[in-house]
Structure 1
């Protein structure tokens, strides 16, 4: 007997097998001269009360979030790694207020702006970003 359980974002379980989304997202943002992709994956960005689904890209110079077309808020978010003050584990917030799950990362800029991303394997994301700071 198979069962299906959402293992979010970007995958689901069928029985004992984790099935990742077969559709790999192609980055639309142009890479800078000498910029190298490091990591990418499905992610959600908390923007106020809306959770914006899309794809997160980490390069050796920037963090780029590209929302998918089903969102109300469709603007691309680009953060230069030189502007990042720190990154650490965080909670996914329901309506931007109520903590739900500890599966997010919080990225704080040197200007005081915070971005909260829900990702799979937050520890690997945090280690990859910290390794480039």
Structure 2
């Protein structure tokens, strides 16, 4: 059974925060109270960190479900106007902010629209002929990034689930576009 991505992220976040607070609380308490306080402080901090991580993951699941429903009109509009190849929730990095929204791959472009809970709300459309390359990449410690190199030398980064599938589908369309352009030239 595949574990939910936000629960995985929540557990990872919770474990890291639990470890941080365990060390902080444990060392501080251990210096004052002795080894038993150190051990109990570490265990309580780890348990609290994991619990808060799971709650964070559940909160993120609820947020994603709400955003998926809110993007339904846009998804219907995109499907009516374009041949949508792939889509999912995504974050787009712009000026060091990870802007949340929805990413669409159509046969002609990669299109991102942010949701309302961002500082830098925006839309971004990258035509397929403006994409030079695409590859999954690590963001922080996780393989959740999608790095798009454009023909003008600029880069766009997204956080998506299934980075390998996104990259494969985009690369497949890039090959089709190259073949189409080649056949038009000959």
TM-score in same-fold range (> 0.5)? yes
Structure 2: tracts of 5 or more residues without a match:
10-56, 175-186
- Number of aligned positions between the proteins: 117
Counterpart for residue 68 of structure 1: 115
Structure 1: tracts of 5 or more residues without a match:
93-98
2:173 equivalent to 1:129? no
Distance 1:84 1:64 in 2: 12
Cα 1:71–1:34 change in 2 (3 A) is: closer
Q: Deviation at 1:64? A: 0.4
Alignment of 1:1-133 (within 5 A): 6-7=6-7, 21=65, 23-24=68-69, 25-26=71-72, 27=74, 35-92=82-139, 99-133=140-174
Q: Deviation at 1:100? A: 3.2
Q: Deviation at 1:35? A: 3.2
Q: Deviation at 1:72? A: 0.8
Compare CA radii of gyration and give the structure with the larger one.
2
Q: Deviation at 1:5? A: 7.9
Q: Deviation at 1:6? A: 2.6
Cα RMSD of the aligned pairs, angstroms, is 3.0
Cα 1:51–1:60 change in 2 (3 A) is: same
Normalising by structure 1, report the TM-score: 0.74
SS in 2 for 1:129: helix
Say whether the 8 Å CA contact 2:134–2:170 is kept in structure 1.
yes
Could you list the runs of 4 or more consecutive aligned residues of structure 1 that deviate by over 6 angstroms after TM superposition? none
Q: Deviation at 1:101? A: 1.9
- Give the strand-richer structure, 1 or 2: 1
SS in 2 for 1:6: helix
Normalising by structure 2, report the TM-score: 0.55
Distance 2:148 2:163 in 1: 12
